[in-house]
Structure 1
Amino acid sequence: MPLDIRNMSELPPIESQLARRLTEVDFATLGHYLEDGFCDPRLQRVAGSARLVGRAVTVRITPTDSTLLHHAAGLVGPGDVVVVDCGGDRRHAPLGEVVVNALVARGAAGAVVDGVCTDVDALRALGLPVYAYGTSLLTTKLHGIPDGGLNVPVSCGGVPVRAGDLVLGDANGLLIAPAARLAAVLDEALADDAEEPSIVAELYAGSPLGTLTGATATVQKLLSAAAPTENP
């Protein structure tokens, strides 16, 4: 397929209030309300320690050629997260010290590679959140193969990703979804987080978890419904 390069100006900006509120929510709480968008749990943070909230800039490369990624690294801006689709390759590392320095210099928020990275000690020293399946000494090259795409639909951790989607990450993993999908459940998730300290306090005061959450009442109803009825 020929190169498919789409203009960065076509990406929707992150709404500032939504971004701020997403930094306040426990990302795992969003898992109470969403099923899709959660990346393969093997795709883990290998560098950085900060929680990640940013806008996806998608890059699709061929397994051995990172030419397009080098080009994209000069286009990102503050708050962007480069999401790299390597076509299923898990051997060649397209992301290393030089590329991540380029992202840091541009103010990027993080990087996610649906594959492996290299120079992990240097990446950890830089501190930019980087997610990958692992590390490798075998790197990509600048072959200039006329294939790949920038700001095109990609796949990452088994999740379909479109440029402009929001990328959320912490030590537990990654969630990538459209802004509207996250905004739709954010109020409930923040309310849950606000209630959690009081629930924990009640647990230590002796209340059973199932009583507090309603699970025990549900189990009792299920048992009652399953109980055989006596004939008159």
Structure 2
Amino acid sequence: MPTSLTGRLKGLDTCAVSDALDFLGITGATTGIRPMWGRQKIAGRARTVEAVDAAAGPAGRHLGTQTVASSGPGDVIVVANRGRANVSSWGDILTAAAQYRGIEGAVIDGACRDLDAVAEAGFPVWARAAVPVTARGRLAERGSDVPVLFDGVLVTPGDLVLADGSGVVFLPADRATEIIETAERLAARQDAMRAAVLAGQPVTEVMHDDRFRAALSGEE
């Protein structure tokens, strides 16, 4: 069994982590962010990019380039673009640069483009949509490796990210161990419930069986 937090996190799914976040009263699950191609899973540390309308941001470096250039294996690029699906904030050149750096993938609260090239490259990207519209003249980078709001979730650089077929969740770094431990107990409970159903126990009973509630709290 993996001992690193990111290794343990990748052994889970976003549903178990979302349930753990609910159980602990922590905001971290997002909605509407989906894998843009294939069936993949990534886990890593957040490296953030904040995108704003071009008129509201400083002129200068291209969106995302500084964050990608300073990231590497174990990192996930997190682009906060306020859910905008009418303009791209990720494309094929950033994908090539991210792959060269060994970055795990990118999650975008907004849209990406060049999806055929991204899929052909095999680079994992989660977003709200794929569009052909460029960010040039439309978006600017207001911050790199700064706290950002991603679908209402406050994400700080170094927080953990898990993305799979169900979507994207974030784990605050200072509570990641607690969240993962809780999610592991929840996943074990789900496995036990599934096994009980497959063994012939009626699902109406399984869903209300006190044994499975006790499994979450660690009680005998």
Q: TM over 0.5: same fold?
A: yes
- Percentage identity across aligned positions? 31
SS in 2 for 1:113: strand
Q: Aligned match of 1:99 in 94, 102, 116?
A: 94
Matching residue's letter, 1:129: P
Deviation digits for residues 50-97 of structure 1, max 9, x if unmatched? 311011111112235871412322111111111112255322212111
User: Separation in 2 of the partners of 1:143 and 1:198?
Assistant: 51
Structure 1 residue aligned with 2:16: 29
Radius of gyration: which is bigger?
A: 1
Q: Aligned match of 2:41 in 32, 45, 51?
A: 51
Contact 2:14-2:167 within 8 A present in 1 as well: no
Is 1:161 aligned with 2:155? yes
Structure-2 change in CA distance of 1:188 and 1:86 (3 Å): closer
Matches within 5 A, 1:197-216: 197-214=191-208
Matches within 5 A, 1:88-167: 88-141=83-136, 148-167=142-161
Segment of structure 1 superposing worse, 136-145 or 179-188: 136-145
Give the structure-1-normalised TM-score: 0.76
Contact 1:60-1:150 within 8 A present in 2 as well: yes
Deviation digits for residues 96-118 of structure 1, max 9, x if unmatched? 11111110110001111111111
Q: CA deviation at 1:144?
A: 9.8
Is 1:82 aligned with 2:72? no
Contact 2:53-2:138 within 8 A present in 1 as well: no
Matching residue's letter, 2:167: G
Structure 2 residue aligned with 1:219: none
Give the structure-2-normalised TM-score: 0.80
User: Separation in 1 of the partners of 2:8 and 2:195?
Assistant: 25
Contact 2:42-2:164 within 8 A present in 1 as well: yes
Q: Give 5+ residue unaligned stretches, structure 2.
A: 211-220
User: Separation in 2 of the partners of 1:34 and 1:87?
Assistant: 22
Contact 1:63-1:89 within 8 A present in 2 as well: no
Deviation digits for residues 155-192 of structure 1, max 9, x if unmatched? 11221111111110100000012133231132333234
| Displacement over 6 Å in runs of 4+ | none
SS in 2 for 1:32: helix
Q: Give 5+ residue unaligned stretches, structure 1.
A: 1-15, 217-232
Contact 1:44-1:133 within 8 A present in 2 as well: yes
Structure-2 change in CA distance of 1:144 and 1:192 (3 Å): closer
User: Separation in 2 of the partners of 1:212 and 1:92?
Assistant: 47
Structure 1 residue aligned with 2:218: none
Structure-2 change in CA distance of 1:213 and 1:43 (3 Å): same
Determine which structure has the larger strand proportion and give its number.
Answer: 2
Structure 2 residue aligned with 1:174: 168
Q: Aligned match of 2:29 in 15, 19, 38?
A: 38
Task: Kindly report the root-mean-square deviation, in angstroms, between the aligned alpha carbons of the 2 structures.
Answer: 2.7
